[in-house]
């Protein structure tokens, strides 16, 4: 079922947003909290990181608008916990200017870390080389982007499996 909401227009990421996103850990936090609020402790456990280090990244993501704190709750031992959820801003950004190398490196490292923690029997991958000119490349990327946006905009459904997708375009010599 496709959402009736139109696919939002992307705006170009600011330099500050690109800097914030230039961390594989931060990208993984955004993915983990997409549609599922998690506390800093829960995030740290899922990433196998120290909670203080994770909190540093969470605070940067909140300051940049990529995470939204939810109402505080009491944890198992009565301690105050603040869950965080992705604001969805990252999926509304375009990356058409500035130095994208930091973001590209962070995306690749986030992907590799996530795949390293995945049972390879659950990983579906494919590779291919296509021969396209500049106009065909633009068409290919636009169509692929539209397909990904269509699925991103679908409303969550109970029982539907969360699935991550990583796409790279590089010279195929």
Where along the chain do its domains lie? 11-123
pLDDT over 60 (residue 127):
yes
Can you give the pLDDT at residue 2? Answer: 43
Q: pTM here?
A: 0.82
DSSP string, 65-124: TSEEEPPPEE-TTS-EE-EEEE-SGGGGEE--SS--HHHHHHHHHHHHHHHHTS-GGG--
- Segment 131-136 shows an average pLDDT of 92
What are the CA-CA distances from residue 22 to residues 25, 65, 69, 74, 134 (Å)? 9, 15, 21, 32, 28
- Segment 121-143 shows an average pLDDT of 89
Can you give the pLDDT at residue 3? Answer: 44
Lowest mean pLDDT among 36-45, 66-75, 161-170: 161-170
Topology (CATH) of 11-123: Arc Repressor Mutant, subunit A (1.10.10)
Q: Which two tokens stand for residue 20?
A: 């914030």
Q: Do 54 and 44 contact (CB within 8 A), yes or no?
A: yes
Q: Do 1 and 154 contact (CB within 8 A), yes or no?
A: yes
- Segment 35-47 shows an average pLDDT of 94
Name the nearest CA neighbour of 97 among 6, 13, 1, 2.
Answer: 13
**How many CB atoms lie under 10 A from the CB of residue 166?**
12
Please provide the distance, in angstroms rounded to a whole number, between the alpha carbons at the two ends of the chain: 39
User: 3-class DSSP state for residue 11?
Assistant: strand
- Segment 139-144 shows an average pLDDT of 90
Name the nearest CA neighbour of 102 among 25, 22, 27.
Answer: 22
């Amino acid at each position: 079922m496709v959402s009736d909401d139109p696919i939002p227009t992307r705006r170009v990421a600011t330099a500050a947003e690109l800097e914030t996103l230039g961390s594989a850990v931060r990208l993984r936090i955004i993915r983990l909290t997409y549609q599922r609020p998690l506390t800093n402790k829960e995030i740290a456990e899922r990433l196998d990181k120290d909670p203080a280090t994770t909190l540093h990244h969470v605070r940067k993501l909140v300051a940049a608008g990529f995470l939204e704190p939810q109402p505080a709750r009491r944890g198992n031992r009565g301690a105050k916990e603040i869950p965080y959820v992705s604001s969805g801003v990252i999926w509304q950004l375009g990356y058409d200017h500035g130095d994208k190398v930091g973001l590209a490196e962070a995306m690749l490292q986030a992907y590799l870390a996530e795949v390293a923690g995945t049972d390879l029997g659950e990983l579906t991958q494919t590779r291919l080389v296509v021969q396209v000119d500049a106009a065909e490349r633009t068409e290919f990327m636009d169509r692929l982007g539209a397909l990904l946006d269509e699925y991103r905009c679908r409303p969550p459904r109970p029982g539907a499996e969360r699935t991550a997708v990583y796409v790279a375009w590089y010279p195929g010599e």
